[in-house]
A and B are shown apart, each in its own frame.
Chain A
Amino acid sequence: MATELQFEHKPKIVFAITDALIMIRRSTTHIVRNTDQLLGTFFQPIMFLVLFAAVFGGAIEKSLPHGVSYINFLMAGIIIQTVAFGSTTTAVSICNDLQQGIIDRFRSLPMNNIAVLSGHVISDLFRNGLSTVVMILAGLAIGFRSSANLFEWLQIAGLIVLFTLAFSWLAAIVGVLAKSVEAVQWLTFVIIFPLTFASSAFVSTDSMNSVLKAFAQNQPITQFIDALRALLLGTPIGNHGWIALAWGLGSMIITIPLASILFRRQASR
């Protein structure tokens, strides 16, 4: 009755890659099918951008260096903040997979299980990329102007990709450890809110009190924002680019294996 089945015979490493590709396709299909979430992907960044620019713009512009408009200052911060909040989706998707029977299915297959994680992380990169493009277009519509040339735009893209990956792997750990989707929501909230607000995202850190300023100026998110801002506005980048690169790569050296180990452990309960 059954047709003759053809199996692939490839080295393990090749299978690890095809497994990841299959999982990326799965997670990306989720993004497209999940229309509510997709709307959020488009409208949340626009809303943040317009509200911040309109509400705080007038007050904050006075404290900025002469000639810098708030929308130009804000752009880097709001991109990083949106990406950080966007990583919540990775955590939620992974948590969902673990809570439902599907994880047992994947684990009973001769596949590389970590592909489940990388699938969500990479598809999140696509979604965040889309958010970022939407936001830059919206920014251009309300007065944002960049002096970046093609080479600088490539660096900008690279920096955003690095930040997205680094943050999504961090979120993957949250997703693996959280007992429920609700727990994911508040966990990411508790991590992301202080990190993005106590940074140079919305105001110059010079206006903060000394303790907060010390934290805000040295934490990784500020490094990314400052590097991104310098590239967008053509101001001196200093060490921010290198420090951001080190933070991004350094954190992934820890978070990727950690997420994988925790995932294996959590899934085999």
Chain B
Amino acid sequence: MPKPDYVIQAKGLKKSYGSNEVLKGIDLKVERGTMLALLGPNGAGKTTTVRILSTLLKADAGSVMVEGFDVAKDADKVRSVIGLTGQSAAVDELLTGRENMVMMGRLYRLTKQSAKDRAEELLEEFDLLKAANRPAKTYSGGMRRRLDLAVSLIATPPVIFLDEPTTGLDPRSRLAMWDIIKKLMANGTTILLTTQYLEEADQLADQIIVIDGGRVIAEGTATELKSRVGKDRLELGFKDAKALQAATEALGKEVVDTNEKEQSATIIITNTNKDVRHVLDLLTAAKITLVSMAVHKPTLDDVFLSLTGKQTPSKKAGDK
């Protein structure tokens, strides 16, 4: 097997503001052409991590290599291979979309012609051609984010940092953003994305790192993380409390949880076919009528909850 080619490597990142320890030692690696998602609630240290990786902030301890360049020693070299899309759309409000693109292209050291050509190409790709001659301050939230991302792609950098690229966007704009990000991934760009949305990490990322309180608390693929939380659950619903009582007796110790209010019982299953059949057999033998039945796969929300002991931010915000 060839040795993995890590484009971003961070070891033991620490950062404090006064007595407030924001990062308590973060390690991460991103393989070429893949996406790593940093998943965590507000204040977990996601943005601080991205700011350090993208040369904006100096870490108190630890090291970062991006494309073989040390961010502390070769910041300019790192800057020429990265694109950064931050939380607040970092575009010039008074300049038009096109002027923003060309200006940033020139600052990336593109030639005038190249900057112009590439700007047109991206404006079209990001559906901003019609608005290209309007000042950015007249753009909607979704358009601004698209322009912001387009600006960071002007020099086609091989590494992109996306710091909460869909926070605050309406569902439609979010989907549009996901499509754009998927296209980027298809082109082989290495991406580090931060998000508070589990669904986003689940949908887009190859690898996920869950951080909370400045520490990595879990890492793996979405599937691995989900399997860590546990097995599939079978939820059985009954007509009334009497039926629930009878079912609990019939199923015996397989029932891990009952809910009197909803007259439901939960059973952990490992083999869906066999276990469901077994449960149905037992209930039929006991002549108990089932009102509803559902198999629940663990979600990343469950992962988050079990790892941090906190509700996920998206749930709190009533997002789902």
Whether A110 and B79, one on each chain, are in contact in the complex, defined by CB atoms closer than 8 angstroms, is yes
Partner of A108, one of B84, B95, B121, B135: B84
| 7 chain-A/chain-B pairs, Cβ below 8 angstroms | A3-B117, A6-B113, A7-B114, A22-B106, A101-B89, A105-B84, A105-B86
Interface flag for B293 (CB, 8 Å): no
Interface flag for B82 (CB, 8 Å): yes
Interface flag for A8 (CB, 8 Å): yes
Partner of B56, one of A30, A33, A268: A268
User: Besides the contacts A7-B109, A7-B111, A111-B107, what 15 more A-B pairs have beta carbons closer than 8 Å?
Assistant: A2-B156, A3-B117, A5-B118, A6-B114, A8-B110, A22-B103, A30-B94, A33-B94, A33-B135, A102-B91, A104-B51, A105-B91, A107-B55, A110-B79, A110-B108
Q: Which residues of A contact B (CB under 8 A)?
A: 1-3, 5-8, 15, 18-19, 22, 25-26, 29-30, 33-34, 100-111, 268-269
Whether B114 and A18, one on each chain, are in contact in the complex, defined by CB atoms closer than 8 angstroms, is no
With CB as the reference atom, state the residue of chain A lying closest to B88. Answer: A101
Q: Top 3 closest A-B pairs, CB basis?
A: A101-B88, A105-B90, A101-B90
Whether B109 and A110, one on each chain, are in contact in the complex, defined by CB atoms closer than 8 angstroms, is yes
Q: How many A-B residue pairs have CB under 8 A?
A: 95
User: B93 to chain A: which residues have CB within 8 Å?
Assistant: 100
Interface flag for B99 (CB, 8 Å): yes
User: B113 to chain A: which residues have CB within 8 Å?
Assistant: 6
Whether B117 and A8, one on each chain, are in contact in the complex, defined by CB atoms closer than 8 angstroms, is no
Whether A18 and B95, one on each chain, are in contact in the complex, defined by CB atoms closer than 8 angstroms, is no
Q: How far is the CA of A6 from the CA of B155 in the complex (A)?
A: 9
Known: A7-B114, A110-B80. A104 touches B94 (CB 8 A): no
With CB as the reference atom, state the residue of chain A lying closest to B57. Answer: A268
Interface flag for B87 (CB, 8 Å): yes
With CB as the reference atom, state the residue of chain B lying closest to A31. Answer: B94
Known: A26-B92, A104-B84. A3 touches B118 (CB 8 A): yes
Whether B121 and A29, one on each chain, are in contact in the complex, defined by CB atoms closer than 8 angstroms, is no
With CB as the reference atom, state the residue of chain B lying closest to A12. Answer: B76
User: A111 to chain B: which residues have CB within 8 Å?
Assistant: 107
Chain B interface bracket (under 10, 10 to 19, 20 to 34, 35 or more) = 35 or more
In this complex, which of B95, B99, B106, B111 has the most chain A Cβ atoms within 10 angstroms of its Cβ?
A: B106
Q: Which residues of B contact A (CB under 8 A)?
A: 51, 54-58, 76-77, 79-80, 82-84, 86-95, 99, 103-104, 106-111, 113-114, 117-118, 121, 135, 151-152, 155-156, 187
With CB as the reference atom, state the residue of chain A lying closest to B83. Answer: A108
With CB as the reference atom, state the residue of chain A lying closest to B92. Answer: A102
Partner of B107, one of A3, A22, A33: A22
User: B57 to chain A: which residues have CB within 8 Å?
Assistant: 268-269
Known: A110-B108, A268-B58. A5 touches B114 (CB 8 A): yes
Known: A102-B91, A105-B84. A3 touches B106 (CB 8 A): no
With CB as the reference atom, state the residue of chain A lying closest to B114. Answer: A6
Q: How far is the CA of A60 from the CA of B149 in the complex (A)?
A: 61
Query: Smallest CB–CB gap between A217 and chain B, Å?
Result: 43
Q: How far is the CA of A19 from the CA of B79 in the complex (A)?
A: 15
Whether A5 and B91, one on each chain, are in contact in the complex, defined by CB atoms closer than 8 angstroms, is no
User: A22 to chain B: which residues have CB within 8 Å?
Assistant: 103, 106-107
Query: Smallest CB–CB gap between A154 and chain B, Å?
Result: 34
Q: How far is the CA of A6 from the CA of B54 in the complex (A)?
A: 23
User: A25 to chain B: which residues have CB within 8 Å?
Assistant: 103
Known: A3-B117, A5-B118, A109-B79. A29 touches B99 (CB 8 A): yes
Whether B87 and A101, one on each chain, are in contact in the complex, defined by CB atoms closer than 8 angstroms, is yes
Query: Smallest CB–CB gap between A264 and chain B, Å?
Result: 11
Q: How far is the CA of A18 from the CA of B115 in the complex (A)?
A: 14
In this complex, which of B90, B93, B114, B117 has the most chain A Cβ atoms within 10 angstroms of its Cβ?
A: B90
User: B91 to chain A: which residues have CB within 8 Å?
Assistant: 102, 105
Q: How far is the CA of A25 from the CA of B102 in the complex (A)?
A: 12
Whether B89 and A5, one on each chain, are in contact in the complex, defined by CB atoms closer than 8 angstroms, is no
Q: How far is the CA of A5 from the CA of B154 in the complex (A)?
A: 10
Partner of B111, one of A6, A30, A33, A103: A6
User: A269 to chain B: which residues have CB within 8 Å?
Assistant: 57
User: B95 to chain A: which residues have CB within 8 Å?
Assistant: 26, 29, 33
Whether B104 and A109, one on each chain, are in contact in the complex, defined by CB atoms closer than 8 angstroms, is yes
Query: Smallest CB–CB gap between B38 and chain A, Å?
Result: 17
Whether A104 and B86, one on each chain, are in contact in the complex, defined by CB atoms closer than 8 angstroms, is yes
Query: Smallest CB–CB gap between B103 and chain A, Å?
Result: 6
Known: A108-B56, A110-B76. A7 touches B135 (CB 8 A): no
Query: Smallest CB–CB gap between A34 and chain B, Å?
Result: 7
Q: How far is the CA of A13 from the CA of B315 in the complex (A)?
A: 52
With CB as the reference atom, state the residue of chain A lying closest to B75. Answer: A110
Q: How far is the CA of A103 from the CA of B205 in the complex (A)?
A: 28
With CB as the reference atom, state the residue of chain A lying closest to B122. Answer: A2
In this complex, which of A15, A18, A107, A108 has the most chain B Cβ atoms within 10 angstroms of its Cβ?
A: A108
User: B87 to chain A: which residues have CB within 8 Å?
Assistant: 101
Partner of A2, one of B55, B88, B118: B118
